[in-house]
């Protein structure tokens, strides 16, 4: 692993830094139907260099930590960590994430230079339990009782702003639930 400072992080470059946002909206499954949680969060991305796989694939790697707080009681109610990876040869973006419910996701997508009207980079990845390439792994309990079947995420980042929206499909309480999260953040430390 190299930690040189001249690493090309491609579209992930804009993520690096510490972000804060208080416009979060979470829609999560509940036995009665759904629960709606307004939230704020701290999200920190750190460029950690590159790795070489099988002496041929070079990935630039950004580590992140996300901690999400419920507005109603200021309690941390979601904690997530993982890596974003960029493969410049195939223009593939990968996002590996873990959450402390015994669920892991490896999502992927192509980045071909898309930007929004404000010039922010658009990064999109997805995964599915039955996908050939980008998969979800979960404990026997979760497979049985709260099975994540799909995950997709869109991030728009640049000029000190980051917004994301993500949908996690969860098979729970006899239905497939569309668990969604979105927020808008500002760069607090570059």
Q: Which residues bind ligand HEM (CB under 6 A)?
A: 26, 28-29, 37, 39, 68, 77-78, 99, 101, 103, 105, 146, 148, 151, 168, 170, 172, 179, 181
* Shortest Cβ 106–ligand HEM spacing (Å): 11
* Shortest Cβ 46–ligand HEM spacing (Å): 19
* Shortest Cβ 3–ligand HEM spacing (Å): 28
CA 11/CA 92 separation, integer angstroms = 10
Nearer to ligand HEM, 58 or 129 (CB): 129
HSE-up (13 A, CA, CB side) for residue 93: 25
Do the Cβ atoms of 77 and 70 come closer than 8 Å? yes
Do the Cβ atoms of 50 and 1 come closer than 8 Å? yes
b/e 51-74 (16+ beta carbons within 10 angstroms → b): eeeeeeebbbbbebebebbbeeee
* Shortest Cβ 163–ligand HEM spacing (Å): 13
Sequence-distant (6+) residues with CB within 8 A of 155 are: 15, 122, 123, 124, 162, 163, 164
Nearer to ligand HEM, 8 or 176 (CB): 176
Point out the residue whose Cβ comes nearest to ligand HEM: 28
Nearer to ligand HEM, 99 or 122 (CB): 99
Nearer to ligand HEM, 7 or 142 (CB): 142
CA 92/CA 86 separation, integer angstroms = 6
Nearer to ligand HEM, 55 or 74 (CB): 74
CA 40/CA 23 separation, integer angstroms = 6
Nearer to ligand HEM, 37 or 81 (CB): 37
* Shortest Cβ 43–ligand HEM spacing (Å): 9
* Shortest Cβ 38–ligand HEM spacing (Å): 10
HSE-up (13 A, CA, CB side) for residue 15: 30
């Amino acid at each position: 692993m190299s930690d040189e400072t001249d690493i090309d992080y491609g579209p992930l470059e804009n993520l690096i830094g510490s972000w804060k946002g208080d416009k979060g909206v979470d829609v999560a499954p509940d036995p009665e139907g759904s629960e709606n949680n307004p939230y704020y969060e701290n999200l920190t991305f750190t460029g950690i260099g590159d790795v070489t796989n099988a002496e041929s694939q070079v990935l630039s790697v950004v580590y992140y930590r996300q901690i999400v707080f419920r507005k109603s009681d200021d309690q941390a109610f979601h904690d997530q960590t993982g890596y974003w990876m960029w493969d410049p040869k195939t223009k593939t973006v990968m996002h590996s994430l873990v959450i402390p419910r015994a669920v892991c996701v490896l999502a992927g997508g192509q980045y071909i230079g898309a930007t929004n009207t404000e010039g922010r980079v658009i990064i999109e990845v997805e995964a599915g339990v039955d996908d050939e390439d980008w998969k979800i792994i979960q404990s026997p309990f979760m497979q049985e009782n709260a099975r994540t079947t799909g995950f997709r995420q869109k991030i728009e980042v640049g000029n000190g702003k980051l917004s994301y929206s993500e949908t996690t499909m969860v098979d729970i309480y006899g239905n497939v639930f569309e668990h969604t999260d979105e927020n808008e953040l500002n760069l607090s430390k570059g």
